[in-house]
Structure 1
Amino acid sequence: MTQDFSTRAIHAGQDFDPTTGAVIPPIYQSSTFVQDGIGGFRGGYEYARGGNPTRDSLQTQLASLEGGSHALSFATGLAAEDALLRAILRPGDHVLMGNDVYGGTHRLVNRMFTPWGVELETTEFSDLERVRAAIRPSTKVLWVETPSNPLMKISDIAALAEIGHAAGAVVVVDNTFASPYLQNPLALGADVVVHSTTKYLGGHSDVLGGALVTSDAEIAEKAGFVQFAAGAISAPMEAWLTVRSIKTLAVRMERHSDNAEVIAARLAQHRAIERVYYPGLPEHPGHELAAKQMRRFGGMISLAIAGGPEAARRFAESTSVFQLAESLGGVESLISYPHEMTHASVRGTELAVPEHVVRLSVGIEGVDDLLGDLLEALDRL
């Protein structure tokens, strides 16, 4: 019988310590492991770059939650993306990604891979016909981000997986905004799921990390070799902190979603707001699709400020409970100005974020406090 998500989040990969009976497995803060004779590895462990029990426990947990058979834990989300792309791509290959993805993902491919002969193209992934038209014989990767960062576009994972597979491409879904609790791309046909575990999986703004999850043994082997050879692993403490945080992922995502739904509905009526980007609103493009492929709508909201760029900047700098900072997915609420913060690297491109848009990462504080903070700041505009 398949266990509930919360049960797996707490128990997958988390066997008690057989020596002491400790409920929480220890942190294996060791760089190397004693061998039983030359080449006689204990439990397969030799050197921490190649494997560590704490990292393995996180990888088991992640694979279980995403419904995959293989997971790899990295030092950062971009390290995970880099390893995956190096495992798949060769000069002359074509990468097709959405036109509203995280700026760092676009920067990675555009600045690191295209000089080595990889071709990058972006298009509107919520329009399946435009995706089909952009496919080439050399297309090797369809890079999907849904909900997208920061305009919360919703892409049809199952349909895109069909399109990608018909072209012989690997379909990758960045599931950072949704988390495994709200959305499982592998079950919808994706080949690989990517996470910045720094965000909702870590959930407390105190740890960096990234992950790949797949059921494709060949991709897992190739990406695993890149990780081993280049060394972008998560350290034991970071892995342990992420494991600890994931145990409360379900309850946190419920509260994030509760708060965001209230805030989005209220701000949609405010005179200072031109538009609220939140898939939980019935008027949001892709609302019905999001309701179909997500459990709930999550804690990320973007706002187009009616007063233009200067008003947006003043708003972003004038809240108090919402703190001005990059990143997202923590228990505390954050506000950012993507045009000059998270997406500064894509200014002047098709991915440029409108200058009057701010992004909210809605935390798990009291919703009345959060809403009051935002309304006070908006009323001053």
Structure 2
Amino acid sequence: MKIITVVGARPQFIKAAPVSRELRKYFDEKLVHTGQHYDDNMSKIFFEELGIPLPDYNLKIGSGSHGKMTGEMLEKLEEIYINEKPDCVLVYGDTNSTLAGALAASKLLIPVIHVEAGLRSYNKAMPEEQNRILTDNISKLLLVPTVDAEKNLKNEGITEGVYNIGDVMYDAVLMFKEISKSKEYLLEDLNILPNKYILTTIHRAENTNDINRLKNIIEALNESNEVVILPLHPRTKKFVSDYGLTFNENIKIIEPIGYLEMLMLESNAKKIVTDSGGVQKEAYFMGKPCITMRDETEWVETVEVGWNIIVGTDKYAIIDAINNFNPKSKQELIFGDGRASEKIVELLKKLMK
């Protein structure tokens, strides 16, 4: 069986690492990189560090408006599908690459496998939410990571082809956590001690593109009286400059880092403050309190079990959470047992019979 896997953004590279390793033991997998993340620090380094096979195709789409980017992906992916004649197409998550990969396949009547199906933030103004819903509705196999994701699909009338396999990102963390310790020299380089700093990421357009939201976030970090490590996303860096915002000395700005460095910083942080969906989960995997600077989250389970708090971009709510938010409950295995990649292969082999 030939499978085409479409990736294009940082979290998808991470998810593909354990899954591609398992798929290639039994199937012919072709990897297509759309180029949605084109900065070397945010794409090429992931292939190198995580041992992901080099893409068989690199579309080099780059940035642009949602319509332009998705349209270019559709055109190029359709050509690849016609030439390669895959038995199915596998997509991850909720990016424009996800939607384009699924839609191009659906138009050609090629079955779509959606890994990380069923997630909902219930904010349709978010491009990611639109991508999730559309991809789920044209997928043949919907591989959900949690019980809540399965319930979301059932509430929308989607019950065929739904399988709860757990979260492939948990697979990746278990796969690379020990290796990430080789990056602990970064703590010394930054002159910081384990569990003595707050790790922060800011990249969502809803925060970076709104001067008031971004201003509130930066002021909260400035006034937190904590050492803050902030790997600065290129888009965030641009808007910080455009808006004339400044960071206090307690905030250590570093360049975007590789996945292993990120895992190491997460595992040694006191708390994690983020607007990233993936980092929310990684915080949970690492046993770290997570403070989410969004108005909602698709990872509601982490909030329900008391390890994640949603603060939006209210300056004082962010500061209060940094100072006072501490989980009271023990962690539960809400994201599966770390064998999601194996379960995908087991499922595909079973369905082929």
Identify whether the pair has TM-score above 0.5, normalized to the shorter chain.
Answer: no
Give the TM-score band, short-chain normalised.
Answer: 0.3 to 0.5
Report the TM-score when normalising by structure 2. Answer: 0.35
Greater fraction helix: 2
Work out which of the two has the higher radius of gyration on C-alpha atoms and give 1 or 2: 1
